Amino acid sequence: MPITMPSTLLVSAFNGKKLLVVMTLLAVTLMIESQIGYIADFIPEQLSSSQGIAGFIGIWIIFTVTQYYILAFVKFNNRGSASRASFVCNVHKAVTVTQYLLAGIIAFVILQILLTQQYDTVMLSVVLSISYGLWIVTLSLLAITFFSWYSLRKEKNLMVLILAMSMIAYVVNGALGLYFNADLLMQQKPIIREGDVAVFTVPSISAELEDIMNIVYDIASTIAYVLTWIGAVMLLRPYVKSFGRIKFWVIMVTPMVYYLITFPLETLGILTYEDPETAIRNILIFTLAAAFTGIIFGYAFLSVARTLRLGSPVRNHMIIAAYGFLLFYIAGSASVNQAAYPPYGLVSIAFIGLSCYMIYSGLYLSAVSVSQDMSLRKSIRESVIEQSKLLHNIGTAEMEKRVEKQVLSMAAKTSKALAEETGVQTSLNEDEMKDYVELVINEINKKPNL
In 3D space, the residue among 356, 328, 362 whose CA is nearest the CA of residue 236 turns out to be 362
Of 147-151, 263-267, 305-309, least confident by mean pLDDT is: 263-267
For residue 258, which amino acid is it? Y
pLDDT at 145: 81
Percent over 70 (pLDDT), the chain: 65
- pLDDT (0 to 100) of residue 54: 95
The pLDDT, as a whole number, for residue 363 is 78
pLDDT of residue 318: 82
Higher pLDDT, 320 or 427: 320
Mapping DSSP to helix (H, G, I), strand (E, B) and coil, where does residue 156 land?
coil
pLDDT, tens digit (0-9, with 9 covering 90-100), for 366-409: 766 665 555 545 555 555 555 555 444 444 555 455 555 555 56
The continuous run of DSSP H or E covering 331 comes out as helix 313-331
- What are the Cα distances from residue 442, in Å, to 253, 375, 384, 397, 398? 36, 20, 11, 12, 14
107 Cβ contact list (under 8 Å, min separation 6): 60
Strands 118-120, 191-193: pairing kind: antiparallel
Q: Which span out of 41-45, 229-233, 282-286 was modeled with the highest average pLDDT?
A: 41-45
pLDDT bucket at 411, cuts 50 / 70 / 90: low
| % residues pLDDT > 90 (the chain) | 26
Average pLDDT score over residue span 226-233: 82
* pLDDT beyond 50 at 450: no
Average pLDDT, the chain: 76
Confidence of residue 9 (pLDDT cuts 50, 70, 90): very low
Of residues 290 and 350, the one with the higher pLDDT is: 350
pLDDT value at 116 more than 90:
yes
pTM for this prediction? 0.76
> pLDDT value at position 394?
44
Query: How many other CB atoms sit within 10 Å of the CB of residue 215?
Result: 10
| pLDDT in the model for residue 416 | 57
CB 25 within 8 A of CB 64: no
160-164, 260-264, 436-440: range with lowest mean pLDDT: 436-440
- Closest listed residue to residue 138, CA positions, set 361, 366, 421, 367: 361
DSSP sequence for 342-403? S-TTHHHHHHHHHHHHHHHHHHHHHHHHHHHHHHHHHHHHHHHHHHHHHTTTS-HHHHHHHH
Residue 84 has pLDDT above 60, yes or no: no
CA distances from 327 to 169, 261, 296, 333, 408 (A): 18, 21, 11, 10, 41
